[in-house]
Structure 1
Amino acid sequence: MRTTSLLLSSLLLTTSMVAAPTSASYALPLHDESGRGATLTGTVLDPAGKAVEGALVAVGNRTALTDARGAFRLQGLPAGEALVTVSGLSIRPISQTVTLQAGQTQTLRLLIEEAVQQLDNVTVAAQSLHFAPEVDGTIITAGKKNEVIELDKLNANLVMNSSRQVFAKVPGVTVWESDGSGQQINVATRGLSPNRSWEFNTRQNGMDISSDPFGYPEAYYNPPLEAVERIQIIRGGGSLQYGSQFGGLLNYELKRGPKDKKIQFETSNSVGNNGLLSTYNSLGGTVGKVSYFGYYQQRLGNGWRDNSEFNVRNLHANVQVQATKKLRLGAEISHLGYEIQQPGGLTDEQFYNGDVRQSSRGRNWFSTPWTIPAFTADYQFSDRTRLSLKTFGLLGERNSIGLPSSVNIDKPDAVNPATGQPANRQLDRDRYRNLGSELRLLTEYDLLGQQHTLAAGVRVAAANLGRRQQGLGDTGSGFNLDLQAARYGRELSFRTRNYAAFVENIFRVGSRLTFTPGARLELIDNQGRGYLSLNPDGSENPLRQDSRRKVLLYGAGAELRVTDQTNVYANYSRAFRPVTFGDLTPPATSDVIDANLQDASGFNAEVGYRGSWANVLTFDVDAFWLRYDDRIGTIRRFVPGSSTTTQQFRTNIGTSVHKGVEAYVELDLIHALTRNFDLPHFDVFASMAFVDARYTQLRTATLSGSNLQEGDLKNNRVEYAPKYTHRFGGTFAHKGFSATAQLTRVSAVFADANNTVAPNAAATTGRVPGYSVTDLSASYRFAKRFTVRGGLNNVFDKHYFTRRSGGYPGPGLLPADGRTWFASVGLKL
């Protein structure tokens, strides 16, 4: 049949002995070791016989990714008949049934014949989320809650980095939608703060991209999602391998050049309302032992609100060289440049009774030029042992100029009362210079009749931040960083040195149970120097802060295979949030920092059940418990030795406990009902989270006359922690067409720990109402090379906001975008 001729790949099965491989039409057991589970090894090759890296090989719910040599290894498999599948980007899933025997190893040679993009009339499956294999490269994920988002299978507005669409199937992700340019990705889980994703350890290709994870962990840079192949998320258990953050790991993996082409060019050009223009262009391929890839992306527009102009430019290049059969070297560089106009906040009166698109700021601008160079080396000692070295740097800035004062309805742009002319703007500038290196080893070994996996690594990192604030800017309205005075009002320098070592081990008990303990030791040295302000005579109010400490993290995970396609997992992991430079910098010279200020500490714990059924159902349901001790805040106290004079004192003031349930389920409805996989796909999903995040202690002290009244906000809800975050959607896919509809529902939250309901005049505190928003998106691939995409975000033009700002980028509530649309045309050659 003609349909059969369009099949994308087939399996060729051969037998091989370890010392002298020989081809055959079946898999021959290599050796007999009674009492052990079966082991499956092999390689995945393209039609030219070249290794296919990053292919997903699965037996039931056990999966492994092929390495640079196309090799994979699955251990502890149950004996009996098993279905082996191979899938991945540019690969049509293929399958083959084999018989596995306990205590024996079988080796397969899997040959992929053709890539999915080269054929017409192929239905592209809608499922874009899956769970990571228990070993992903040099990362152990066994026993941890994790998700992998494959962006090529998503219908979403990637042009504008639409977080609520991209993370829709990851239960519990909350999003701050306060940046209409799409440059800032503000996400969190489990009731943590979404502010620039700072509760996640954010990485690109496994390397740091934030300002300074142990001093200033905000992620000002995020890669354009059009260039991202997959997003990897590991919840709190990721702290053992990646460091402190309570949220875990958020890693963007960029696309690479195709292995089967010397040159491939891809372009996607988009338009949208509010003057949106965007272009994404990439070039990549493999020539001999050299693989290369690069892209240029630019988007510009006027924004949905007034005074929201933006111009964003991204550039990236990488090259990988297979120096020897075992050694692969790589180099890459990413650069971001942009200027974004920031419209500032609104009052509640303006939002509810005026034009929600209005702006009281026409002179506020923001820019963070960011350059990330990196060098990598991967060495494959054997099928069982590999070593990875990543060395990375950061040359970055954070620049803002504008009017940071409260909203003024009558005078939207401040005027100098003495001259009647526009007031000088405030100029703030940060400079980041970072360098780090991580060495990771992963090896498999035999012990007591079982095969186990050890991962270990060390890290060395140095970060330097130069901070200049409260500078006198110009009186203009455009982006300008010229200082109009001799000195900044505040000038500080911060230094971080970080040394770390970790170890984790998968112990396999029989063919169904794994136990994964681990530990990590962090050595952190923070230092701050400079002056906080200038006195009228020009003298400085100095700052001198030093903090050196050791932090031991530990944890353990377990995973029990209930059926061939489902498992129960559980994990406990210690975590901490280091004292940041912001914590060490008092907002006023009269404020005092506790000399014994401690890092916030605590733990993540979770238990869940996940897996799939009959290739039509995927699910993951878990319960979690997160404890956040020694939270840092400011409390008023009497100046030591005085009973009348008070001061603001920054110290550890409280504890919060976050507990809840997260659930994700996706069903291929048509195929589940008919069992006819030649029919179109109709996948429906639900991603739900219920969170109860409350303070168990939060000390307060307020001044009443000459007396201090102490209190405790115990049982108050944690700010910006919604009771529920639900997303529901469906995707219809047939041949080259795919369309997705999605509904997001988020409960109301409080903007402050006092749980203030009524907003204040400046709109910086008060309740943030719940909201519902609907998105539509679709794509069509045709003639092998062309793709058209389009989408309508916030279909019903709902007016809502997700954040109240207390200062930068202009106090007040920050409206989310109303109805917007985009359309793209893509070509791949």
Structure 2
Amino acid sequence: MKFLILGISLFLVSILFGQETYNGVIVDQENDELPGVKIHNLNSNDKSRSSIDGQFVVKAQQFDTIEITYNSYDTLQVVAGLDWKTDQSNRVLLKYATQEIGEVMIVKKRMADFNVGFMPPIKGVRLNTGTNSIIELENLSGAKSTGNAREMYAKVPGLNIWENDGAGIQIGIGGRGLSPKRTANFNTRQNGYDISADALGYPESYYTPPIEALKSIEIIRGSAALQFGTQFGGLLNFEIQDPIKHSPFEFTTRNTVGGYGYFSTFNRVSGTHKRMFYQAYHQYKRGDGYRENSQFYQHQAYAEFGYYLNEDWTISTEFTHMNYLTQQAGGLTDLGFEEDPQQSIRDRNWFAVDWNLLALKSKYEFNKTTTFDIRAFGMISSRKTIGFLGKITQTDLGGNREMIYSDFMNGGVEARFMKKYSWLEADGKASKVRGALLVGGRFYRGETQTKQGTAAAGNKADFTFINPRDVEGSSFIYPSNNQALFAENMFFFGEKWRMNLGLRIENISTRSEGFYKEYVVHPLNYDTLAINRQRDSNSVARTVPLFGAGVSYKVGSNANLYTNFTQNYRAINFTDIRVTNPNVLVDPDIKDEYGFTSELGFRGLLNDVLIYDLSAFYIFYGDKIGLAPKPKTVKKERTNIGDAQNYGVETFAEIDWLKLGGHKRDWSLKTFVNASYINANYINSKEPNYVGNKVEYVSSYMVKSGISSSFKNWTFKVQYTFNSAQFSDASNAIEPSGDALLGEVPAYSVFDFSGKYKFKKWFQVEFGVNNITNTSYFTRRATGYPGPGILPSEGVNGYLTLQFKIGK
């Protein structure tokens, strides 16, 4: 027994004293440190990860095998005591995975130098193909506090922007001739989960995360978008900054002042301690607005808490809250806009939103080739509007106002499983075919309740129905259910070819149930003769299979030629159907929209000097919904106008002129050009006069161009934006109607200036002037709230931001 105890003791001592500590730093081929690299001792099964600056510490016995793995990089194995020494800092080089080298290098270079570019083919549990863009925001200059969309999205081709306000409270963007209305043609997400009111029945979002909180904005169009949904526009995903990894505490504050009484403060804390990570931020902004009667305030708050259960399994939770109140200045007639775009003839219109999101996420890596990700998400939110919605040619005589109140509730679960694999391996040689298979499922349920009726008089933001139990307009509930299965497979053939195939099956059920009231009015004195209460219900269920495919060919080391095709689908928006608009009627037989997108493109990076993306696209849009004349009335009808086609060319290029000599310099001088031509027209319509007409809110020519320069800690940029004229309805009316609902949206040009200075350690100053030339222009004629009529864009406006950051 004594010998046994002695033997065990000697064995334990040999293990204890046999282990050595190895340390060093992990870098890539550009000599940049790599954070979060997994380091696995295959003998002891111990695991760790590199820090934010690439440093690592691992314990191992002599001759233990250490495996180092990182997404998009080749796996490396080293032997302790032979390849690594204990008495020195070991510098470990990871090389890009052969068949992903081009895209990965482009992402890195873009992040460092261009702020925009293309995503790698595999990122986490996601496959990226076709046209995609990622906007890296850390070093991007511009009006971040107000979220000026002209500057933030300047390098993404083909985007048309509605400028709803000058504070970034809501964005409205549409791509390739699709409507910009509240970004409803994109599947809009935050950190990969839904943020819109109802992804099917009401896919509009009244919430936009603050630019100051974001790491990047991702836009994916083409066949890869089938992983996320059926929308024509693809995916728009806001990526919030990750918690700081190398410190238990970091504090950032950004404070901005600007024209028209604007003030904003953004404050964030973040940190990582052992296996726990966290962050929280709050943003408050207020202002008087560019126009009369357009004051506002907004609060945004976000909290994230996560924990590494082990080196393979991470769980986290995120909560988001946003509320704001804005006074709506209303629309203007064309004459009123020419006289003074800052005037307002509505002083009793208000809009309020309360948005609450909760997400639970879990990611488990079985091994370096197999990952499972699941996230559950939910939302409870509301929006309220109150005011006088009569045509802008009608005088608001006071009295009771009209109010629309909507409650949104939705929740869902989305799971993803990715497996990377190899085929045709022989004699230790690299496989001829490699691939990645992504399969997933989604369960989603949404419910919207909307009431419309008479509300309190006065001019304050008093959101109170006079008869809440029996409203004068309508009361409806809109449940929606969605189950979806999707699969995407990407094949890598040798060094140059890549092909992907995608399939999505959607089971969609949408309903509406409630009542609306019809009023019989005397033709002479307009007295109400009778009120008829009409019950109404509608239900539509359908199963929709969608298919997508794409091919990419590597031309040289950092360039790709690509093409892809994907089917699209957009369900009926029931909420729009039953909300009464005094200026617009709704076709009771309105149907879902369907179609497809195809594209051909060439993109790449040339010697770290030039980044470029050229593409041509074609979109077929069947049963497109829009406004058409209602027979025997003077009103417009929201209906399926007909079939449309959108086709065109998108180009983007940015060059760093001072790198042409091949020498590294303190100066940089870069110019970019983002230009697109889009021809969108109706090819079939139940209104014969519409065939051949242009689709509404499509600028045939859009150009964004800029020049930027940096020297040491200084950065300056001047940007130019041009949109050609657009039509506001399918009749292509050029001359404006008296009520400003119809007519051309004229071409406009805008210049923006921004600058930045970074102090050595803690401080940063940002400054700029938007719309330097004080151009008077507008991007939209609203048929209802927040108009109706012309909604002027902001004039000249300056800002100054002070940032202070400190960490432990």
- Alignment partner of 1:667 is 2:655: yes
The answer (yes or no) to whether the contact 2:73–2:96 under 8 Å persists in 1 is no
Separation in 1 of the partners of 2:118 and 2:723? 25
Is 806-815 or 817-826 further displaced after alignment? 806-815
Shift of 1:509: 1.2
- 1:480 aligned to which of 462, 469, 487: 462
After TM superposition, list the pairs within 5 Å mapping 1:180-199 onto structure 2: 180-199=166-185
Separation in 1 of the partners of 2:98 and 2:163? 53
Separation in 1 of the partners of 2:54 and 2:785? 56
The answer (yes or no) to whether the contact 2:34–2:50 under 8 Å persists in 1 is no
- Alignment partner of 1:454 is 2:440: no
Closer, same or farther in 2 for the Cα pair 1:8/1:258, shift >3 Å? farther
Quote the residue 2:757 is aligned against.
780
- Alignment partner of 1:605 is 2:598: yes
Quote the residue 1:322 is aligned against.
308
SS of 1:153's partner is coil
With the length of structure 2 as denominator, give the TM-score of the two structures. Answer: 0.85
Shift of 1:257: 1.2
Separation in 2 of the partners of 1:373 and 1:697? 44
Shift of 1:238: 4.0
Letter in 2 for 1:367: A
- Stretches of structure 1 that go unaligned for 5 or more consecutive residues are 1-6, 23-41, 52-68, 77-93, 107-123, 416-421, 639-643, 701-710
Quote the residue 1:111 is aligned against.
none
* Per-residue deviation, residues 369-426 of structure 1 (Å, max 9, x unmatched): 00001100001111001111111111111100111111148x4xx22xxxxxx22111
Is 233-242 or 647-656 further displaced after alignment? 647-656
Shift of 1:320: 1.2
Separation in 2 of the partners of 1:764 and 1:134? 45
Is 197-206 or 645-654 further displaced after alignment? 645-654
Quote the residue 1:114 is aligned against.
none
Separation in 1 of the partners of 2:507 and 2:708? 47
- Alignment partner of 1:545 is 2:538: yes
SS of 2:671's partner is strand
Shift of 1:231: 0.2
Number of residue-to-residue matches in the alignment? 722
Quote the residue 2:88 is aligned against.
none
- 2:679 aligned to which of 689, 692, 701: 692
Quote the residue 1:269 is aligned against.
255
Closer, same or farther in 2 for the Cα pair 1:778/1:785, shift >3 Å? same
Letter in 1 for 2:313: L
Separation in 1 of the partners of 2:509 and 2:96? 55
After TM superposition, list the pairs within 5 Å mapping 1:215-230 onto structure 2: 215-230=201-216
- 1:429 aligned to which of 405, 416, 422: 405
Identity %: 33
Q: What is the root-mean-square deviation in Å for CA atoms of aligned residues?
A: 3.1
Quote the residue 2:666 is aligned against.
679
Shift of 1:71: 2.0
The answer (yes or no) to whether the contact 2:149–2:161 under 8 Å persists in 1 is yes
Quote the residue 2:428 is aligned against.
none
Closer, same or farther in 2 for the Cα pair 1:203/1:70, shift >3 Å? farther
Quote the residue 1:527 is aligned against.
511
Letter in 2 for 1:828: K
Quote the residue 2:78 is aligned against.
none
The answer (yes or no) to whether the contact 2:776–2:793 under 8 Å persists in 1 is yes
Shift of 1:10: 6.0
Letter in 1 for 2:517: S
Shift of 1:753: 0.3
SS of 2:71's partner is strand
After TM superposition, list the pairs within 5 Å mapping 1:18-417 onto structure 2: 19=42, 45-47=51-53, 49=55, 71-74=70-73, 126-142=113-129, 144-352=130-338, 354-408=339-393, 411=395, 414-415=396-397
Shift of 1:575: 0.4
Closer, same or farther in 2 for the Cα pair 1:10/1:207, shift >3 Å? closer
The answer (yes or no) to whether the contact 2:329–2:347 under 8 Å persists in 1 is yes
SS of 1:661's partner is strand
The answer (yes or no) to whether the contact 1:594–1:649 under 8 Å persists in 2 is no
Separation in 1 of the partners of 2:680 and 2:602? 23
Quote the residue 1:567 is aligned against.
560
- Alignment partner of 1:828 is 2:802: no
Quote the residue 1:61 is aligned against.
none
Closer, same or farther in 2 for the Cα pair 1:688/1:44, shift >3 Å? farther
Closer, same or farther in 2 for the Cα pair 1:581/1:267, shift >3 Å? same
The answer (yes or no) to whether the contact 1:670–1:679 under 8 Å persists in 2 is no
Closer, same or farther in 2 for the Cα pair 1:561/1:310, shift >3 Å? same
* Per-residue deviation, residues 324-366 of structure 1 (Å, max 9, x unmatched): 22211000100001101111111111111x1211011111110
Shift of 1:646: 13
Letter in 1 for 2:414: E
The answer (yes or no) to whether the contact 1:307–1:362 under 8 Å persists in 2 is yes
Is 471-480 or 203-212 further displaced after alignment? 471-480
Quote the residue 1:466 is aligned against.
449
- 1:490 aligned to which of 454, 474, 495: 474
- Stretches of structure 2 that go unaligned for 5 or more consecutive residues are 1-29, 58-67, 76-90, 102-110, 426-432, 520-528
* Per-residue deviation, residues 31-80 of structure 1 (Å, max 9, x unmatched): xxxxxxxxxxx9864458469xxxxxxxxxxxxxxxxx97223479xxxx
Separation in 2 of the partners of 1:408 and 1:676? 64
Quote the residue 1:515 is aligned against.
499
After TM superposition, list the pairs within 5 Å mapping 1:743-762 onto structure 2: 743-762=720-739
SS of 2:736's partner is coil
SS of 2:114's partner is coil
The answer (yes or no) to whether the contact 2:478–2:575 under 8 Å persists in 1 is no
Separation in 2 of the partners of 1:451 and 1:227? 37
Shift of 1:631: 1.6
Separation in 1 of the partners of 2:749 and 2:581? 40
- Alignment partner of 1:505 is 2:489: yes
SS of 2:285's partner is strand
Closer, same or farther in 2 for the Cα pair 1:713/1:573, shift >3 Å? same
Closer, same or farther in 2 for the Cα pair 1:289/1:483, shift >3 Å? same
Quote the residue 2:418 is aligned against.
442
Shift of 1:698: 2.0
Letter in 2 for 1:478: K
Closer, same or farther in 2 for the Cα pair 1:679/1:169, shift >3 Å? same
Separation in 2 of the partners of 1:781 and 1:823? 14
Closer, same or farther in 2 for the Cα pair 1:337/1:719, shift >3 Å? same
The answer (yes or no) to whether the contact 1:15–1:21 under 8 Å persists in 2 is no
The answer (yes or no) to whether the contact 1:183–1:222 under 8 Å persists in 2 is yes
The answer (yes or no) to whether the contact 2:148–2:166 under 8 Å persists in 1 is no
* Per-residue deviation, residues 702-734 of structure 1 (Å, max 9, x unmatched): xxxxxxxxx341110001100011001011112
SS of 2:756's partner is strand
Letter in 2 for 1:671: K
Separation in 2 of the partners of 1:274 and 1:698? 46
SS of 2:659's partner is helix
Closer, same or farther in 2 for the Cα pair 1:634/1:774, shift >3 Å? closer
The answer (yes or no) to whether the contact 1:635–1:699 under 8 Å persists in 2 is no
Shift of 1:555: 0.9
The answer (yes or no) to whether the contact 2:355–2:381 under 8 Å persists in 1 is yes
Shift of 1:584: 3.9
Separation in 1 of the partners of 2:216 and 2:591? 36
Separation in 1 of the partners of 2:41 and 2:601? 39
Separation in 2 of the partners of 1:332 and 1:692? 42
Letter in 2 for 1:695: Y
Separation in 2 of the partners of 1:281 and 1:236? 37
Shift of 1:578: 0.8
SS of 1:165's partner is helix
